[in-house]
Amino acid sequence: MAMGDIGLSFGDGLERSVNLTFRIPYFTHWGQSLLVCGSEPLLGSWNLKKGLQLSPWHVGNELIWRGSIEVPSGFGGEYSYYVVDDDKNVVRWEAGKKRKLLLPDSQVGEAIELRDLWQNGSDTLPFKSAFKDVLFFHSGKLEIEKPLGLFEYKLDQGDSVLIQFRICCPSIEEDTSVYVIGSSTNLGQWKVQDGLKLSYAGDSIWQADCALKKDDFPLRYKYSKYGKAGNFTSEIGSNREISMDTLSCQPRFILLSDGMIREMPWRGAGMAIPMFSVRSEDDLGVGEFLDLKLLVDWAVASGLHLVQLLPINDTSVHGMWWDSYPYSSLSVFALHPLYLRVEELSREIPEEIKLEIAKEKERLNLKDVDYEATLAAKISIAKRIFSLEKDQFLESNSFQKYFSENQEWLKPYAAFCFLRDFFGTSDHSQWGRFSSFTNDKLEKLVSKDSIQYDVICFHYYLQYHLHLQLSEAAEYARKKGVVLKGDLPIGVDRNSVDTWVYPTLFRMNTSTGAPPDYFDKNGQNWGFPTYNWEEMSKDNYAWWRARLTQMSKYFTAYRIDHVLGFFRIWELPDHAMTGLVGKFRPSIPLSQEELESEGIWDFDRLSRPYIRHEHLQEKFVSLWTVITSIFLNEYQKQCYEFLEDSSTEKKAASKLKDAMEKSLLLGSTEDKLKRDLFDLLQNIVLIRDPEDPRKFYPRFNIEDTSSFKDLDDHSKNALRRLYHDYYFQRQEELWRQNALKTLPVLLNSSDMLACGEDLGMIPSCVHPVMQELGLIGLRIQRMPNDPGVEFGIPSQYGYMTVCAPSCHDCSTMRSWWEEDEERRRRFFKDVVGSNKLPPSRCVPSVAHFIIRQHVEAPSMWAIFPLQDLLALKDEYTTRPAPEETINDPTNPKHYWRFRTHVTLETLLKDKELTSVIKDLVRGSGRSYPQLSEDKADEHLKIKAATTVVKKTPNDGIQHNGTHHKEAVAVS
């Protein structure tokens, strides 16, 4: 239910037309205006060209938009506000659900005014499942006192005005009511006991009506909470005010939608750990879904409201440890068998299998994850159990229900796994007649009559039990008041179920990555194909919507990996191995005509590798002649070009490998020679568009190349201007529009709370769009948004952010502290404010200072990697700090295998550590899961608290008291 849903049902009256006025304050830019469009023909039937245009009107410091229309008495429907240009093209639309309207049956000519507030993305946050189903779940248990809009009232003749007050209050304690208090007698003259009590109408909406005399205006008022225990809290900020506009037609009824109750912003804390990194006494070689129950218990004991994981989808592409990379999914729907607890597959496991499980647990209880051995052990054991209960499983009602709800992705996934194992590769282009997917081929593969049906059913079996185990953990987290946060990868493996089933949704001749940034000065090449957004839009991004729907079965919040990719993606040719020579997609290229107008003519010189005799001698020294003979052609004196069989990074790397195996290049390492050859290939200024030779893209960091340095000054200056324009100016509106096409579809596909990973090279359009859509950003202290500072200042972060001292893509807080002495000194001086010599180790006092900085930040969430929290206690810092790093972004073949060196059971017994963390959270004013002893303590505080209320000329009321579990800030 949208906060502005409107409705009244009056008793007596004639079924005639009434004058309906829409009124909303909103500041527009030049050339923009507001209109109302709705479900009924009188409001355009959702055709914006036929919507009701509003007119601007200045009232004090506000710009008010108004518009009136004659409608039948009892008129109803849905509506929403839109910002449009002069041609009624949408510039911006409201977030959240459509507003609902149901007018009273009034007398002929009666005037009714709807006073609304624009609904921003942040206004929708309390209705996300993280809040309504987990954090504020107790508020959802309220009984509806009067259904929304149901009201009977007969307004007396005269100068009375009927106002229906409506406020959204997502978080409210038991036995607490909502009041309106204000300057009029009917609102108690600021005394809450005499104020107007609101009734609960469902969906966090409270409403009440009040008949006021025109002499009561301008009316000043506030919303307040008042509990049976005597605790009273009023809205923060200045008084609200309602005045009667100086118009000839004065409304008799004002339906006042006041948005969200204004309270101190809700803030919480959480912890992050990859599923594979968790260690418990019950797991087999790796963290398992059912371990999340213990992790949730530890989070609650530590005062944490959130547990964040890395992606948990199946990544079994290569059949080796490369598959430890959690962001390269085999299927965006299937869960990873690695996280299965095999002893929970059946209640009747034979003793010999139980002994095997115990033996494997002992064998694989290693310092780090042995990905291949652990997965093989689990698959082997699961097959044995499956063979014993196959028929019973397939006939069970619970499996049949699961299958019917998931078969659209489950059958292709099982068939893919069979074909992958049959052909010995996930590269579906090597599967002969099965390389192209059709439904007919699929049905034959999964048919009950096929010889491989048992193999197909085994994959059903694994996914079914993974679903049961993760669902059990997710429900446990919800009941404990802990948000389970997942991760939505930006890409899929090019040899995946998704690229096999939906090949038109991907640009298979390209690769996804990131330009040079904090993580890697040479850029990143992730190897995923880029998306064909044009094709995806044809069914309103059904593939994305299905992903989010599936994810929401388990998670109440999620992280959008590389959210910048929804504005623009760094696209590389599929023959690239590095991430440097790419271009943004979409983007406005440099045209040949544009370049020529700047005096740039020699396009071959600028777009081909610039290789001269001196470059070869400098890089390869004594080997330069051998390198030349193998890879290059001298097309004119002392000028070289790559041979066709060496003309791309992949070709050059393959040819180099052959040469090294034949011992043709003794005296240097393969890695160094490869880097030097790639440097030559990347020594260009412009990248020619392979689909249109008259379009070009400036190579990233062109001034670092000798190709640029050898140009004349005029060409350098012209290219500098064009480079800056391409990367920092001309694309902004295009990228903004691109994000506004795709991101709302994701956000509206589920009720999960969305957080965007907005690190790296950030276009200026990103943060305004994220703010508009209610997307929470990420702030890492060592990667500040302000290029002029070295360390971020958590106290200056915005509310709509997650703050953290580190993340999985960089070293831990402890490792970061210990790896660079000079940087450590600068931090100690600039951030800690001390000129003393800092400790060389990240001792608990240092960890405590950094963590306290973050929990005290204004950010909605402070989320800490588990490794950073363990640094609060000396006994957990015995492991070398670099070993706790989860990922090295500079290494595309990094082994993701870190496991904590302490079990969850041990952490749960450590009351000292949980107390330290909980004290940090409580001391910062953040919300925390309340145990029974916490609630008893809180009750005593409320009972002892005194509340003083008095009128003041300016603020209306003042009070002393404690805020408890406040609603989400929406300002």
What are the tens digits of pLDDT across the range 217-236?
999 999 999 988 788 899 99
Beta bridge partners of 388: none
Which band of pLDDT confidence, cut at 50, 70 and 90, is reported for residue 840? very high
- What band does 945 get if pLDDT is binned at 50, 70 and 90? very low
Give yes or no for residue 5 having a pLDDT over 70: no
Residues comprising the chain, all counted: 971
- As a whole number, mean pLDDT of residues 156-171 equals 86
Cβ-contact 903, 279 below 8 angstroms: yes
Among positive and negative, which fits the CA dihedral 42, 46, 48, 54? positive
The whole-number average pLDDT for the span 50-72 is 93
Residue 639: pLDDT over 50: yes
What counts of helices (H) and strands (E) characterise the chain?
27, 38
Mean pLDDT of the chain, nearest integer: 91
Confidence of residue 541 (pLDDT cuts 50, 70, 90): very high
Determine the pLDDT at residue 148.
66
* Gap between the Cα atoms of 822 and 818, Å rounded: 10
Q: Which residues pair with 335 in a beta bridge?
A: 313
Q: Higher model confidence: residue 878 or residue 229?
A: 878
- Quick one: pLDDT at residue 966? 32
Contact yes or no for 920/851 (Cβ under 8 A): yes
pLDDT the model gives residue 73? 83
Question: What is the C-alpha to C-alpha distance for residues 178 and 170, in angstroms, rounded to an integer?
Answer: 11
List the structure tokens of 476.
Answer: 């446990």
Is it the case that residue 1 has pLDDT exceeding 60?
Answer: no
User: Would you say residue 785 has pLDDT above 90?
Assistant: no
Rounded-to-integer distance, Cα 630 and Cα 610, Å? 18
Spatial contact of 99 and 4, defined as CB atoms under 8 Å apart: yes
Q: Measured between alpha carbons, how far is 718 from 709 in angstroms, rounded to an integer?
A: 13
For residue range 203-221, list pLDDT tens digits in order: 889 999 999 988 899 999 9
The residue ranking higher by pLDDT, 149 or 216, is 216
Query: Do 317 and 323 meet the contact criterion of CB atoms below 8 Å apart?
Result: yes
Looking at residue 795, what DSSP letter applies? G
Confidence of residue 108 (pLDDT cuts 50, 70, 90): low
pLDDT tens, residue by residue, 571-628: 999 999 999 999 999 999 999 999 999 999 999 999 999 999 999 999 999 999 999 9
pTM of the model: 0.91
Residue 529: closest CA among 504, 512, 548: 512
Predicted local distance difference test score (pLDDT) of residue 714: 97
Q: Give the Cα-Cα-Cα angle 48, 128, 3 (nearest 5 degrees).
A: 50
Q: What is the pLDDT of residue 493?
A: 97
- Of 373-382, 711-720, 951-960, the range with the lowest mean pLDDT is 951-960
What mean pLDDT comes out for the span 145-162? 69
Asked if 497 and 431 touch (Cβ cutoff 8 Å), the reply is no
Per-residue pLDDT tens over the stretch 848-860 = 999 999 999 999 9
Share of the chain above pLDDT 90, in %: 80
pLDDT at 962: 26
To 10 degrees, the CA torsion angle through 714, 720, 721, 723?
140
pLDDT of residue 554: 98
CA-nearest of 6, 117, 110 to 64 is: 117
Average pLDDT over residues 767-796: 94
- 485 pLDDT tier (thresholds 50, 70, 90): very high
Q: What is the DSSP letter of 864?
A: E
pLDDT given at position 144: 85
Q: Does residue 942 carry a pLDDT above 80?
A: no
User: With 0-12 CB in 10 A as exposed, 13-18 as middle and 19+ as buried, what is 529?
Assistant: buried
Strands 253-260 and 111-115: parallel
The pLDDT-based confidence of 157 (bands split at 50, 70, 90) is: low
pLDDT at 192 over 80: yes
Residue pLDDT, tens place only, 679-690:
999 999 999 999
Q: How far apart are CA 82 and CA 48, in angstroms?
A: 8
- 513: pLDDT confidence band, cut at 50, 70 and 90? very high
Flag whether pLDDT at 98 surpasses 80: yes
pLDDT bracket for residue 250 (50, 70, 90)? confident
Cα–Cα distance measured from residue 466 to residue 473, given in angstroms and rounded to the nearest whole number: 11
The per-residue pLDDT for range 286-295, each reduced to its tens digit, is 999 999 999 9
Confidence of residue 948 (pLDDT cuts 50, 70, 90): very low
* 17 pLDDT tier (thresholds 50, 70, 90): confident
The predicted model gives 172-200 an average pLDDT of: 93
